[in-house]
Structure 1
C-alpha cells in the first residue's frame, strides 16, 4: 500500500527525536522519556473548550468538549509505557475527537511507574469508570486506550466482567499492549523496523510497573485473561509495531468469543 507524505514526515520526526534510541535502553531512562510529557494545554482551543479539571482518586482528569450538555462520554487512557504521558499527540487526539464529535472527553492522567505499580494504576482506572457510570448512561460511554492505555482498558473490561458490572457501550484500542512479557517469537523480526519501540526498553518499563508481580498476570497481560462478553470493540493495529503479533492473537480471541456467544 502506498504511504502518504505525512507518513514519511512522521517517521522522520520520530527518528530525529531519538525515540527509538530511548526505548533501546535497560533500564529505560524514565527522566528522559518524560521530557516530552505535556500535563496541561493552554492553547486557544483548550482554553475555550476545557469544561473542568478534577481528580478521581489519584488520576487528574481534564474534561474537554464543544457541548457541555452532551450525554456522550469518551474516557481517553493515553499510552506511554506506564512511565510517561500524556504527550502532545494525546492532546491533539483529544482536540480532533472533540471537534469531530458531540462527545465530552475525559483525558485521564493516571499514576505512573516506577513510583506507582500496576495495582494502584488499575485501581485508579476502576475508580474513573465508577465515577463515569454514576453520571452517564453506560451505553453512552466509550473508552479509548492507546498502547498501554489499551492494556488498561482491556483489563478493566475483564475485571468488570468478572464482577458482572455494567459495561461501556464501546471500546477502541489503538496498538494495545496485550502481553507484557514481549515474548512472542515474531517480535524479533519486527523489532529492527519498529520506528519507535524496542523490546529491551519496553520490557524494562513493564518490569518497573509490575514490581514483584509476574508479567503474565492478567493485570499486566490481558492476553492471558478472558475475552468473553466484551462490548463492541474496535482495533487499530500497525504491522511494524512490536506489539502487533500479540494484538493478532487478542483479535482472534475476541472473534472466537463472539462466535461462541452466537
Structure 2
C-alpha cells in the first residue's frame, strides 16, 4: 500500500527532532530525552474529565473519566524506553480513547530508570493491577501499552498466569519491546531503516533498567517467558522498527499456545505509529484500537 503524504511529513518531523540521533548514544542521554515528558496535563478536556490523581507505591495515577462512564477501565502503561515519559502523544491518545469509548483510563506514570530498576517497576505495575481489581472485575479491565509499556503489560500477564490470578479481558500491545538483549540478527538489517530508534541507545536504556545486568530476565524480556493462557491479545507491529523481529517471534509463541491474537502490521511504519500525530495511517490504526476497546 502506498504511504500517505502525511506519512512523509511525520518522518520529516521525526528526523527534525533528532530522535534517531538521541537513540544512537551510549550511554543514552536520558535527561535530554526526559525534556519531552508531560506529567501535568492541561486543556479544557482534561479539566472536565480528570477526576483524580493518586499514588500507588511509587506510581502516579491520573484517572480520566467520561461523563457517560461505561463502567470499564483501561490501564494505560506508557512507553519511553524505561527512562522517560509520559509524553504528549500519550495524553492525546488517552483523550481520544475516553472520547470515543467512554471508558475510564488510568494513566500509570511508573518509576523510571536509571534511578529505579525493573524489579521495582514491575512491583509497581503488579500493585496497580491489584488495586484496579478492588474496583473493577477483571473482565472490565483492558490494558494498553506502547514500546516498554507493552513490555510491562506482557510481563504482568505472565506473572498473573503464574499466580493463577484473574486476567484482564484483553491486552493491546503497540510496538512492544519483547527482548531487551536486542540480540536478534534481523535487528541489524532494520536499524538503518528505522527513523526513530537505534539499537545502541535502546540497549543502553535497557542496561540502565536491568536488575543485576540480567537482560534476559522475563520482567524486562518477556519473550523468554511463557505465553500459555494469555487473554485476547492485539499486537501492532511496524516493519521499519528495530523491535519488529522480536515481535514476530512473540507472535509465533502466541499462535502456538492457541491464544486469541490479532496482528496488525504497519508496512514501512515507524515505532508506535498508531500514537503518532498528523499521520493518516496513525489515525486509522488508532481507530482500530478504539473499535477493539468498544467490542
Query: TM-score, structure 1 length as denominator?
Result: 0.97
Inter-partner Cα distance in structure 2 for 1:94 and 1:14: 21
Deviation of residue 69 (structure 1)?
4.2
**Deviation string, structure 1 residues 104-152 (Cα, Å, up to 9, x no partner):** 0000000000000000000000000000011001101000011000000
Change (3 A) 1:123 1:64: same
Match of 1:179 in 2: 179
Match of 1:39 in 2: 39
Asked if the contact 1:147–1:177 (Cα under 8 Å) also holds between the matched residues in 2, the reply is yes
Match of 2:189 in 1: 189
Inter-partner Cα distance in structure 2 for 1:18 and 1:251: 31
Deviation of residue 208 (structure 1)?
0.1
Q: CA RMSD in A?
A: 1.2
**Deviation string, structure 1 residues 84-109 (Cα, Å, up to 9, x no partner):** 00000000110111111020000000
Inter-partner Cα distance in structure 1 for 2:213 and 2:27: 18
1:1-262 correspondence runs (5 A): 1-67=1-67, 69-258=69-258
**Deviation string, structure 1 residues 28-74 (Cα, Å, up to 9, x no partner):** 00111101001111111111111111111110011112136431000
Inter-partner Cα distance in structure 1 for 2:122 and 2:244: 23
Deviation of residue 246 (structure 1)?
0.2
**Deviation string, structure 1 residues 154-211 (Cα, Å, up to 9, x no partner):** 0000000000011010100000000000000000010011111000000000000004
Asked if the contact 2:138–2:168 (Cα under 8 Å) also holds between the matched residues in 1, the reply is yes
Match of 2:291 in 1: none
Deviation of residue 230 (structure 1)?
0.3
Equivalent residue of 2:134, what SS?
Answer: helix
Asked if the contact 2:69–2:102 (Cα under 8 Å) also holds between the matched residues in 1, the reply is no
Asked if the contact 1:27–1:204 (Cα under 8 Å) also holds between the matched residues in 2, the reply is yes
Inter-partner Cα distance in structure 2 for 1:119 and 1:173: 21
Displacement over 4 Å in runs of 4+: none
Inter-partner Cα distance in structure 1 for 2:154 and 2:183: 19
Inter-partner Cα distance in structure 2 for 1:162 and 1:89: 33
Inter-partner Cα distance in structure 1 for 2:241 and 2:80: 14
Inter-partner Cα distance in structure 1 for 2:38 and 2:153: 22
Asked if the contact 1:82–1:205 (Cα under 8 Å) also holds between the matched residues in 2, the reply is yes
Equivalent residue of 1:212, what SS?
Answer: helix
Inter-partner Cα distance in structure 1 for 2:256 and 2:208: 33
Deviation of residue 6 (structure 1)?
2.1
**Deviation string, structure 1 residues 240-259 (Cα, Å, up to 9, x no partner):** 00000000000110011017
Equivalent residue of 1:237, what SS?
Answer: strand
Q: Extract unaligned runs of 5+ from structure 2.
A: 260-295
